Amino acid sequence: MDFLERGMKMLVISSYPPRECGIATFSADIVQTITKLFGETLPIEVCALRKNETDLYYPEEVTYTLDASDLDAIRLIAHQINERNDIGLICLQHEFGLYGGRHGVEILVLLLSLNKPLVTVFHTLLPKPSLALKKVVDNIINLSEKVVLLTKNAQKVLLNHYNCKRSKTAVIPHGTHVIPWELKEFAKRKYYNAGRTVISTFGLISENKSIETVLFALPKIVKTHPNTNYLVIGKTHPEVLKNEGERYRNLLKKIVKKLNLEAHVLFVNEYISLHQLLEFLSMTDIYVFTSKDKNQAVSGTLAYAMSCGCAVISNPIPHAKEILKNKNGVLVENFNKTKDFQKEILGLLQNKTKSISIAKRAFAHSHANSWENVALQYGLLFGKITDRTEELRFNSPPIKTRHIEKLTTAMGILQFSNFSQPDPNSGYTLDDNARALIAMCMYYKNYQAKKAIRLATIYLNFIASIQRENGWFDNYKDINGEVTQQNKEVNLEDANGRALWSLGYVVYLHNSLPPEMVHTAEKCLRKFLPWIHQIKSPRAIAYVIKGLYFYYQTRKDQTSKALIEKFASMLLDHYHMSSRDDWNWYEDYLSYANNILPEAMLYSYLITKNRSYKKIAEITLDFLLANYFMKGQLKIVSHKGFFKKKNENEFYGEQPIEVGTTINCLELFYKVTGKTKYKNQMELAFSWFLGNNHLKQIMYNAYNGASFDGLEKKHININQGAESTICFFKSQIIMAQYNKNHMIQTLNIESENEINS
């Protein structure tokens, strides 16, 4: 019996596209992202709610449609669902207007008829409810295994005004889409707003939006800032259109005409595509939210605006109070006061630095709420309820070179980026270009992509250009290609070791790569050899061993073999000096790129056949892994402090380089020893990127293939530098070797509290 027969499938009951409704869009995003993340291990079907629509054509995941006001249809569909052994969970998207009867009471007919576990997602909760409303909500709560709220404020309302225990609730925020920060200027050019300030509002239009609040503020704004445009994006709400037509929109147009604002106000009267919506929001400088509903529990429009890097000015609805704190946006003090909005808009227009700062904080804050992270939390929750967590598996994202190419200039790969925007002021390093050269050679070896040769040639030329006449390598160049003072202030052994590793790897692939590349690499390598005896630090020694190993595979010269023997003995000496009964390591601490040390010992064994090297390699790797893998997760050494023998150790501040080197090392140990534990640990290590970490957040940018720079205690550093991105890229290539459809990994969940937090 497979997992479907054991009831792993989830059925979502909700309005659904093409129905034009915010809940429909929300549900589609959840369904599509869960499918992308978990694939066949968490299959989803949809029961789409319809209301007098007969001409809607639903996508294939919609297997049922239901008129929620038809009680006979409700009972019939409940029977059909109950007969399905493969459906293990129902997820109900709840909004009072979706269901029939007073306060949507008729939904209880469906819920009472179902015999499947139920998770209810409340999109609206009113404080101080009437007895009738409270009774409906309390009954839904009682029939649910779990109740999901989209904000902490909504959770407080539920706990304070309804009969619900905290343990039954989970807070999972409204999702947002990942877009690049630099899309802002592109979108402005595309829609002919270059050089202009764009203010916008979006959503299904109704009188409740109070758009006139901004319109009445605009005359004074455009008088001092004439390059300002205001976009009102969205169709009239279908229910409003049915009941009163375009009365409200026509009223707004009259106001625009009366105030002579035709040149500054544009109504986008369409239910636009997601792609176009994100472009409109990306070119928006200031997003205004003027809803009259003081009890609005959540606004997807606010969440989307923040994720697109808008400076948000909002009425003080509960959701805005929660997500705009810590200077993530601006709250007006009173509802729908034109002068208040006018003051705040003018304040941001007059202080561009403040406006951009607010927008960047909002953009960074929104990362945690990306649809990928939100879907991950739903997957964990559903796995927990159905007792199927161990069967859930991550889908690895497709390998992308977009960000690596963006970081690469004609000179080499830049060191850092601000968000996803390359930072030219950070300059170039030998370290990053050596890593990038290896990564592109691996990419070409496995996928024969022509662009890999083009990029690898750039990185190899950088390495050649930064080599001194005497053969030693500098590490740092500025954006103008000048060697910097920093080279005289830091130890360059590790960088030189990495350079040798990359050059040896190019020579190793001599049958695949262009001859001129191999010639350049070997020339640089041989030029460096007179300096090789200057290498003393353990990690630099390890990189040298790796480079010599690959070089030896092609040239088979006895000098390389003798050097490997010499450097392996030096590592062995380090081990004997530092190791104790409870400390099987080469130093008195664990720091960065630790895996390179046992990996180098194993490479030494492969060349010399000295079994003591293999023995120490396994002993030290197993010691390292015992300190890395905890409770089904990889927990790597913090960049903030070393893991020491006797002192307290720092656990937060994890960086992708350590995950990447762990995967690199485990791949070799699995190939050489055939021990399944190394393969399992390799898969588990890769799942750190996919969300199996202490924040339960994805560590890669699905849009451009980059990795984020760091996993901190409470947030992710969403800058995407070369080191992090290359380490993730190499890890993807390695994992793809074991599964052509990309590696998937069992999820880990430690406690229910982690979901709630």
DSSP class per residue in 439-495: HHHHHHHHH--HHHHHHHHHHHHHHHHTB-TTS-B--EE-TTSPBPGGGGTS--HHH
Q: Choose between 455 and 295: higher pLDDT.
A: 455
pLDDT score at 64: 96
Q: Which two tokens stand for residue 548?
A: 């010599």
pLDDT score at 603: 98
> What's the pLDDT tens digit per position in 145-161?
999 999 999 999 999 99
> What's the pLDDT tens digit per position in 336-367?
789 999 999 999 999 999 999 999 999 999 99
Contact assessment for residue 460 and residue 521, using Cβ atoms and an 8 Å cutoff: yes
Q: Which of 49-63, 65-79, 538-552, 724-738 has the lowest mean pLDDT?
A: 49-63
* Residue showing tokens 């009964």: 581
| Average pLDDT of the residues in 723-735 | 97
Task: Give 246's Cβ-side CA count (13 Å radius).
Answer: 9
Residues 6+ apart with CB under 8 A from 430: 462, 463, 466, 473, 474, 475, 476, 495, 496, 498, 499
pLDDT score at 752: 29
pLDDT score at 300: 85
Task: Give 86's Cβ-side CA count (13 Å radius).
Answer: 12
> What's the pLDDT tens digit per position in 390-417?
888 888 899 999 999 999 999 999 999 9
Contact assessment for residue 585 and residue 623, using Cβ atoms and an 8 Å cutoff: yes
> What's the pLDDT tens digit per position in 420-442?
999 999 999 999 999 999 999 99
Contact assessment for residue 189 and residue 282, using Cβ atoms and an 8 Å cutoff: no
Enumerate domains of the chain plus CATH numbers: 9-171 (3.40.50.11930), 183-368 (3.40.50.2000), 402-746 (1.50.10.10)
Q: Is the pLDDT of residue 297 over 80?
A: no
pLDDT band at 745 (very low <50, low <70, confident <90, very high): very low
Phi, psi of 123 (to 5 degrees): -95, -20
pLDDT score at 338: 92
pLDDT band at 488 (very low <50, low <70, confident <90, very high): very high
Q: Is the pLDDT of residue 666 over 50?
A: yes
pLDDT score at 753: 33
| Average pLDDT of the residues in 452-477 | 98
Per DSSP, the three-state class of 677 is helix
Cβ atoms within 10 A of the Cβ of 250, count? 10
pLDDT band at 738 (very low <50, low <70, confident <90, very high): confident
pLDDT score at 640: 57
Residues 6+ apart with CB under 8 A from 178: 307, 367, 370, 371, 372, 701, 702, 703
Phi, psi of 520 (to 5 degrees): -60, -45
What percentage of residues in the chain have a pLDDT greater than 90?
Answer: 77
> What's the pLDDT tens digit per position in 629-658?
988 889 887 655 556 555 555 567 899 999
pLDDT band at 589 (very low <50, low <70, confident <90, very high): confident
pLDDT score at 639: 56
- State the average pLDDT for the chain: 91
Q: CA torsion angle for 552, 553, 555, 559 (degrees, to 10)?
A: 20
Contact assessment for residue 34 and residue 69, using Cβ atoms and an 8 Å cutoff: no
Q: Which two tokens stand for residue 91?
A: 């997820």
Per DSSP, the three-state class of 534 is helix
| Average pLDDT of the residues in 562-581 | 95
| Average pLDDT of the residues in 576-591 | 92
Q: Choose between 650 and 550: higher pLDDT.
A: 550
Cβ atoms within 10 A of the Cβ of 739, count? 11
Residues 6+ apart with CB under 8 A from 753: none
Cβ atoms within 10 A of the Cβ of 694, count? 19
pLDDT score at 756: 31
Question: Could you give the CA distance from residue 410 to residue 453 in angstroms, rounded to a whole number?
Answer: 14
267: β partners: 232
pLDDT score at 253: 95
pLDDT band at 185 (very low <50, low <70, confident <90, very high): confident
pLDDT score at 63: 96
